[in-house]
Amino acid sequence: MARTIVNLKQKMLALLKEDKEFRYTVIGLLGIEDLRSGQVRLENGLAKLEETQARLQEAIEKLTESHNKLIERHDILEKTVERLTERQGALEGAFQKLAERHDILEKAVEKLTESHNKLIESHNKLAERHDILEKTVERLTESHNKLIERQDSLEKAIERLTEAQARTENALQELFKQVGKLSETIGFGLEDIARVVIPGWLYKHEKIEVEEFTRKFIIIDGEEIEINLYGEGRKEGAKIIILGEVRSRIYLNDVERFSKIVEKIKKKIEGNTYELMFGYYIHPSAEEEAKKKKISLIASYMR
């Protein structure tokens, strides 16, 4: 069998060499078979390609869907970022406002601290003034006792006043009665001394008759102004209003302050006025300023 096959192969080879047509026929047959097998392979490849394309198409669709979702998420993220950016801007603005408010609060605290320190200082000054006032009360008590001793001599001096001063004498007698009632108390103040001394001084030095002095409150442009000594008297038959201020110690600034008060009151009061200040002690600087302002200064020891 093997020899037959070998012989057949030898014959086939001889025919292929000698017979040209046979050779072409065999070649064609071989080519057709190759083509057929190639076609089969192509069809199989195409089938695989179609399967692959289907898978690719499915993958592309999934990628497209995923891409669309990514686009949607991207839009959402962009909007979120915009909102966060806006919120960040708002937070930055709020932070800036808080920083400014913090600065304002710091300044307010500084001012309050400064005001607190000033209040402490003022409190200390008031405490010092309180001590001074206590000492002044002690001096007034001593003066009160001396005034009681001088009461008899004052009564005799009042008796020597003219008949034109009769009303003033009556007022003084009433004051003397009140002084007698207060002989065991400490409340005899400087204003009371002024009410006793000033009428006689005015009559003696200025020929002004005044019946009594009172404390008066005058409203000017909504401001309440207090006058320690207010009296209505007469000079040479004409009405005159006496405006007086009582200070234990009279200095330059006291005269300047009282002068300003007088100027305000003159706008409210009609007629002539006479201004004076009464105290225990009068500083030389106050005397110079009083001359300029035409204000009489009377010490408690003057008669």
pLDDT tens digit string along 15-59? 777 887 777 787 777 765 665 676 677 678 767 867 877 787 787
**Closest to 167 in 3D by CA, of 203, 215, 133:** 203
Together in a domain, 292 and 166: yes
Question: What local confidence, expressed as pLDDT, does residue 114 receive?
Answer: 79
Question: pLDDT of 206-231, one tens digit each?
Answer: 999 998 999 999 998 888 999 999 99
Question: In the predicted model, is pLDDT for residue 246 greater than 90?
Answer: yes
* Strand bridging mode 281-282 / 272-279: unpaired
- Residue 146 forms part of a structural domain: no
- Residue 172 forms part of a structural domain: yes
Question: pLDDT of 167-214, one tens digit each?
Answer: 655 554 554 455 445 433 333 489 999 999 999 999 999 999 998 999
Window from 80-94, 161-175, 222-236 with minimum mean pLDDT: 161-175
Q: Which two tokens stand for residue 226?
A: 């207090």
Give the residue numbers spanning the domain of 21: 2-67
Question: In the predicted model, is pLDDT for residue 256 greater than 70?
Answer: yes
Name residue 221's amino acid.
Answer: D
SS3 of the chain: helix, strand, coil, percent, to 5:
70, 15, 10
**What CATH number is given to the structural domain containing 199?**
3.40.1350.10
Question: What local confidence, expressed as pLDDT, does residue 168 receive?
Answer: 54
235 phi, psi to nearest 5 deg: -135, 115
- Give percent above pLDDT 90 in the chain: 32
Question: In the predicted model, is pLDDT for residue 285 greater than 70?
Answer: yes
Question: pLDDT of 94-149, one tens digit each?
Answer: 657 867 876 776 786 577 667 667 866 765 786 677 577 677 657 765 766 776 67
CB-side exposure of 209: number of CA atoms within 13 Å? 16
- Residue 151 forms part of a structural domain: no
- Residue 197 forms part of a structural domain: yes
Question: What local confidence, expressed as pLDDT, does residue 151 receive?
Answer: 66
d(CA 20, CA 175): 176
Q: Which two tokens stand for residue 55?
A: 């898978």
- Residue 136 forms part of a structural domain: no
Other residues' Cβ atoms within 10 Å of the Cβ of residue 156: 9
Which strand (E) or helix (H) includes residue 101?
helix 20-159
> Who wins on pLDDT, 272 or 152?
272
Question: What local confidence, expressed as pLDDT, does residue 189 receive?
Answer: 81
Domain boundary among 42, 67, 92: 67
pTM above 0.85, yes or no: no
Question: What local confidence, expressed as pLDDT, does residue 179 receive?
Answer: 42
The number of domains in the chain is 2
Question: In the predicted model, is pLDDT for residue 276 greater than 80?
Answer: yes
- Residue 93 forms part of a structural domain: no
Domain boundary among 21, 39, 67: 67
Question: In the predicted model, is pLDDT for residue 295 greater than 60?
Answer: yes
d(CA 11, CA 17): 10
Domain boundary among 67, 82, 103: 67
- Place 69 in a pLDDT band, splitting at 50, 70 and 90: confident
Question: What local confidence, expressed as pLDDT, does residue 211 receive?
Answer: 87
Mean pLDDT score of the chain, rounded to an integer?
A: 78
Q: Is 234 helix (H, G, I), strand (E, B) or coil?
A: strand
- Residue 140 forms part of a structural domain: no
